[in-house]
Chains A and B, each alone.
Chain A
């Protein structure tokens, strides 16, 4: 931001367009935001919680980006890339907040590129294999519905950064869910073939829904302090939303969610996560000193 950043100096020397070659020097998603911790909140807890919500978004974004150049239509490719971009933006703010809250001062890149699978806190549905387009739509329907329900509550958090990030994200998530709803209706209530593929996607996705509503101890503690949200509180609302959408799409709603079991929130993942991270982190691993 000031003249002591080498790229700023270069950009200024090269006139206004130098930034295209040297970057803007503005990389902190939370620059200038008041980052004081709320009274009585444990910084380590808050940092882990921010990683949980941030990793859900980051890993889901990485999965969605896999559709770029590979979606059924250009419009859907653009839509999925835009949704991924929103989620990436949410992840950046949350991971930057994590680095402030735990006192480590780590930036978003340190969290995204320099952690292994066991340090990621996302739910399994975010890392699940990409599958076909129907599966992408059903995954997005479930994840956006659950995230929207949690973030609507999180907008009232006592943590000013979490509440601001959530209030902003709610508008974006509502768009994501609308997109997923429209495609669920088209596929489910479309041709017999599209119905069959959509029904198979529901069967694949449903076993992974229980975890979305399982609270780990960090979430329980922060929810009790008015900082976090107990995902169990959103369970019934999300179930009603999904049942309504699936029924309208002539897809059988598979009954209650499976039992809530904590896994990804405590770093226990499926074998799918490591290769996803390997791809996401490949440039950072090959060029650890690089900046961008």
Chain B
């Protein structure tokens, strides 16, 4: 059993260290998309990951990278599986992941919105948390576009230091 646990940890560590192709400062563990790792009876390392957005084109890349990293850690048989439920939320990004995002000039997400049935928010202003500027820390920022270069980010500008920056959208 000790060996099995050690093998599981080795596979976990290899998968956890894989980085996101679109946010290369973050590992899959930082993002919270690595769900679990199990070693099956025949020695196959089974890794479960979860997609961030339904259409995230990086998922196939990540699966290929996990496959390669776990093989490199000494597993001949690797199976990368998708887990859809419960859906990923930005609340699963770890404190370390949030720190690394900010260090790289990307504003980390605030708490994910809770969806309650009821009236539609009818404002032209951002209906979500106003992010702080990741460069100068100012709170006075404006949303330029709710949709950015990737599904998971929106585009903002700091009114204090005037620098544009990206923000990981709360979902």
Q: Are B80 and A86 in contact (CB under 8 A)?
A: no
Question: Hey, which chain B residues are within 8 Å of A82, CB to CB?
Answer: 147, 151
Is the CB of B77 closer than 8 A to any CB of chain A? yes
B64, B88, B146: which contacts A178 (Cβ < 8 A)? B146
For the complex, what is the distance from the CA of A30 to the CA of B127, rounded to whole Å?
33
- Which A113-150 residues sit within 8 Å CB-CB of chain B? none
Known: A31-B82, A87-B55. A75 touches B120 (CB 8 A): no
Q: Are B55 and A181 in contact (CB under 8 A)?
A: no
**Dominant secondary structure at the A interface:** helix
**Dominant secondary structure at the B interface:** loop
Q: Are A179 and B53 in contact (CB under 8 A)?
A: no
Q: How many A-B residue pairs have CB under 8 A?
A: 130
What band does the interface of chain B fall in when counting residues whose beta carbon is under 8 Å from A?
35 or more
Nearest chain-A residue to B46 (Cβ)?
A: A32
For the complex, what is the distance from the CA of A84 to the CA of B29, rounded to whole Å?
28
Q: Are B87 and A33 in contact (CB under 8 A)?
A: no
Nearest chain-B residue to A85 (Cβ)?
A: B55
What band does the interface of chain A fall in when counting residues whose beta carbon is under 8 Å from B?
35 or more
Please name 16 pairs of A and B residues whose Cβ atoms are closer than 8 Å in the assembled complex, sorted by A.
Answer: A1-B67, A25-B64, A30-B82, A32-B83, A79-B145, A88-B55, A89-B53, A92-B55, A93-B54, A93-B84, A164-B85, A164-B87, A168-B54, A171-B89, A178-B127, A182-B124
Spell out B's residues near A (CB within 8 Å).
48, 51, 53-57, 59-61, 63-65, 67-68, 77-89, 113, 115, 117, 119-124, 127, 144-149, 151, 155, 169, 171
